[in-house]
Amino acid sequence: MATVILESAPFAEAIVKVSKEIFDDNKNCLKELAVIGMHTRGVFLAKRIIAQLHKLGGKELQIPFGSLDITLYRDDIDDLGSDMPTIKETEIPFDINKKNIILVDDVLYTGRTIRAALDVLTSFGRPSFIKLAVLVDRGCRELPIEANYIGLKYPSKKKIKVCCKELDNIDQIVVI
């Protein structure tokens, strides 16, 4: 049975919180900022973060956006068998060299997905820095990877699912 830990309004507040932290942390270098969302729900969250950054910095603020699929870089790809996820398109329509990248994912747990994302990103070039924004941090790291911007800390060994209205018709976070 699933337990809802965040409903629609606090979900939106968490995105605003993360966006404000990103804006405040990068206000002196917004022209170099770019946001890349990890498939699938990280892409939707990244687009919302960009919308919030525009509210904070004005519509003239140009923030490049990209999407990233890490499927072929996973370290457990051989273990997936018939559960192999659908490969989605990685689209980074800008030069990441010397950019300040904000990498966005929905949930941070062991750090292995982020490690794969870093491998993909560095195959495109060498950004000035890469910072991580997540909606939920579950804790329980296996790798020394931490998020810079966190909407909600919820330590749990149980699976956490982020539902986005763009895909799931509802904004909420549930423990499964």
Residue among 51, 117, 129 nearest 88 (CA): 117
Contact assessment for residue 134 and residue 148, using Cβ atoms and an 8 Å cutoff = no
User: What is the residue range of 64's domain?
Assistant: 10-71+88-156
The verdict on residue 81 lying in a domain is no
Task: Answer yes or no: is 80 within a domain.
Answer: no
Q: What is the model's pLDDT at position 168?
A: 97
Domain contains 150 = yes
CA–CA dist 8, 68 (Å, integer): 25
Q: Domain for residue 32, yes or no?
A: yes
Rounded to 5°, the CA angle 97-30-126 comes to 15
Is residue 175 included in any domain, yes or no? no
At 137-161, the pLDDT tens digits run 999 999 999 999 999 999 999 999 9
pLDDT for res 87: 84
Mean pLDDT lowest among 28-32, 58-62, 91-95, 162-166: 58-62
Q: What is the CATH number of the domain that holds 101?
A: 3.40.50.2020
Model pTM above 0.85: yes
The label of the residue with tokens 């270098």 reads 29
Residue 66 domain-assigned? Answer: yes
Q: Confidence class of residue 121 from pLDDT cuts 50, 70 and 90?
A: very high
User: How many whole angstroms separate alpha carbon 78 and alpha carbon 169?
Assistant: 32
Helix H segments across the chain? Answer: 8-26, 41-57, 112-122, 165-168
- Work out how many domains the chain is built from and give that number: 1
What mean pLDDT value characterizes the chain?
94
Rounded-to-integer distance, Cα 165 and Cα 175, Å: 17
pLDDT the model gives residue 99: 98
- Mean pLDDT across 112-133: 96
Look at residue 145 and tell me if it is in a domain: yes
Residue 93: pLDDT above 60?
Answer: yes
Buried b (16+ CB within 10 A) or exposed e, 27-62: eeebeebbbbbbbbbbbbbbbbbbebbeeebeeeee
Q: In the numeric block, which tokens belong to residue 154? A: 């919820």
